[in-house]
A and B are shown apart, each in its own frame.
Chain A
Amino acid sequence: MNKMQKALHELSEMDELAARQSPIHSLHPAAKLITTIVYILITLSFDKYDLSGLVPMVLWPVIMFQVSGVDVHTCFYKLRIVLPLVMAVGLFNPFFDKEIMVTIGGVGISGGVISMITLMLKGVFCLMMSFLLMATTKIDSLCAALRKLHVPAMLVSLLQLTYRYVGVMTEELAVMTEAYSLRAPGQKGIHVSAWGSFLGQLLLRSMDRAQELFSSMMLRGYHEHFHYADIRPFNIKDALFMGLCIAFFFLLRYADIAQLIGGLFVR
């Protein structure tokens, strides 16, 4: 499999996850989107040393994974992109911030270590929630929600139209890459002599494709508007879900649950 085929696989995997059924899948996309954004913002707002405050935030994604029945494994696979980056930035902290903040069993733990762990957890939590959003929401429902939330129609239509062709173009490039590598064994990438023509050829063909696509739109009377299937209205259940979630996040943010629970056992 080349990279494009892997990407296609990942795309269709997300599509399939989103097409499943669960109480989370059936929620209104706008409710899920807003909840996810609030969750991420609250997670990011924790102080870099507030590890004990941050840890309980894990509860929500865990619950969501359970209720939606989405496989955690797929999510962790996606961590491979974000996590190294976050960790790398965080890794410097222990070297610059050496002030001991906590001592556990005689071993001093510096502020840098704590802030590093906090950063990594933030990275993982945010990713899990974004992943959950996409794994339980179809792209067109999400776009419908964006439209309802007054994101400009042009941008949303462009997103949907692009998404429609991402698969087509990626597949075409996957085939081209395969054809190229069959004739260039041992080469890891496109040789410099073909830098321009490889993508350029496809680009020219794509422009013809765009022209034909536009013709097809014009022939069916296109003027500026796309019509999409309706999504169901926002109901009381969605509002309840959203309200409870956000209240829960704020509770986690302002009441240090970990400290409280810990306080029960440690003096």
Chain B
Amino acid sequence: MIEFQNVSFAYEKKEYVLHDMSFRIEKGESVGLIGANGAGKSTIMKLLLGLLQGEGKILIDGIEVKKDTLGEIRAKLGFVLQNSDNQMFMPTVYEDMIFGPLNYGLSREVVDQRVDEVLKRLDLEYLKHRYNHKISGGEKRMGAIATILAMEPQAILMDEPTSALDPFNRRLVINTIRELDQTKLIASHDLDMILDTCDRVILISGGRIAADGPAKEILSNKDLLEANRMELPLSMMGKK
């Protein structure tokens, strides 16, 4: 579904932030992308979405990410931003949810039906006509996820989906993520959440892949994590 082939990237042609990176994510996998601040997680996301152009090849569902394939690529990918305020720019949740699908040429009836389905699935019907500037942080995050689901993407990318949420909302978001059957790539420092939602983890350090493997294995390797400026998830402490 997602494939990086020898991808490198440098901002303003000075220092490389990604070095010759290659990995492959199969359809239906959920992968956690972890690494210290500045390791290159968001750069990977932006390259995938075609917001940045680097060297090497990136394939989404067999299509190379290039200027003229952007429309096609972006229709397949849903990106949940870290700051939901930046994602939810329309007046109401409903208007945000129809924004994407209508832009991709679907009819209003189809879109309305989709919106209702998604809201029902996430138990968010009460949010439909609420103003984005009047809802809570947790509601905004759930709304942002709903906005992306309404586009029916094949893969969902998330940047810190649980940041700044209280435990209840965090759990809500985690449960929602677990129930999604799309391919998932989740960048986060919340390793417990990664453990809860992902089967596989890619650990990035200094623009290179430091480890790639089953989540349980990597997230229980104290030495590996600490060498890369991370620490054991709480739920892994005391085990072993």
Where the two chains meet, the residues of A that have a C-beta atom closer than 8 Å to any C-beta of B are 12, 15, 139-140, 160-161, 163-165, 167-168, 209, 212-213, 215-223, 225-229
Contacts and interface: CB of A to CB of B under 8 A. Distances in A.
A228 B133 contact: no
B46 to A, nearest CB: 8
B149 interface: no
Interface residues of B, number: 32
Contacts of A218: 51, 74
B81 A228 contact: no
A221 B98 CA distance: 11
A226 B134 contact: no
Interface string B81-97: 10101110111101100
Given A212-B83, A213-B89, A221 B95 contact: no
Contacts of A139: 91
Nearest to A168: B85
Interface string B79-119: 10101011101111011001110111000000000000000
B133 A229 contact: no
Contacts of B131: 15
A140 to B, nearest CB: 5
A228 B86 contact: no
A42 B51 CA distance: 54
11 contacts: A12-B134, A164-B132, A164-B133, A209-B83, A219-B77, A219-B79, A221-B100, A226-B90, A227-B103, A229-B92, A229-B95
B151 A220 contact: yes
5 shortest interchain CB distances as A-B pairs: A221-B103, A220-B100, A212-B86, A140-B91, A167-B133
Contacts of B38: none
B65 interface: no
Contacts of B103: 220-223, 225, 227
Interface string B42-85: 00001001010000000000000000000100110101010101
Contacts of A223: 103
B37 to A, nearest CB: 16
Contact of A168 (B91, B94, B133): B133
B92 A215 contact: no
Contacts of B81: 212, 215-216
A9 to B, nearest CB: 13
Contact of A227 (B71, B98, B129): B98
A217 B74 contact: no
